[in-house]
Amino acid sequence: MPADARLHYPATARNRDAILAVLRDELSDVGTVLEIASGSGEHALAFAAAMPHLIWQPSDPEAAARASISGWIAAEGTANLLPPLALDATDPDAWPQIRVDAVLCINMIHISPWQATLGLMAGAARLLAPGAPLITYGPYRREGIDLEPSNAAFDADLRRRDARWGLRTVEEVAQAALDQGLALSRTVAMPANNLSLVFRRR
């Protein structure tokens, strides 16, 4: 895999340690973690190295992203980081039926159509055993609370780029999860006005 296939997102270096702290609290000592919309693959690379007792399964619907993930694996990957799957969150019926112990989704919900969030919840609910977690990370709205200026500007920019994008409320995401049998168990304040939401299969 040529080195130029590897994508680099500076935000990964800024948020990976904070996300890793949540993962250490929420994930079991053994098992397989399916990451949805892995993007460049840098998060999967970092988490697989930091938590070698877990198997990390990245995925992304975009060929360029999967090429980047494969490039990072070839250059710096560990034995517990698997080749990326072609997986589209909007089509949970087409998700591979693999055994996973957790599902992770970073920075997808606000940069995708609402159908992707609905698909994420449906797909995760099908794969996870009772008590197993779905962990999401990103910026959210909260009902009745004004957005921080930085997130308000980000939301406006997202909606200008694609009318189907934008920050979702914690409440609407939690309801979409609950409709699939996933209950919100923990909300963690993160740096730069982001949140980690932890759902568990009922």
Whole-prediction pTM: 0.96
> Rounded to an integer, what distance in angstroms lies between the CA atom of residue 143 and that of residue 155?
15
Residues sharing a CB contact under 8 Å with residue 108, sequence separation 6 or more, in sequence order: 36, 37, 89, 116, 120, 136, 138
Strands 194-201 and 133-138: antiparallel
Q: What is the pLDDT of residue 188?
A: 98
Q: What is the pLDDT of residue 11?
A: 85
With a cut of 70, which residues of the chain have pLDDT below it? Answer: 1-3
> Rounded to an integer, what distance in angstroms lies between the CA atom of residue 33 and that of residue 40?
17
3-state SS class at 41:
coil
Identify the structural domains of the chain with CATH numbers, from first to last: 3-201 (3.40.50.150)
Q: What is the pLDDT of residue 1?
A: 40
Q: What is the pLDDT of residues 13-23, one digit of tens each?
A: 899 999 999 99
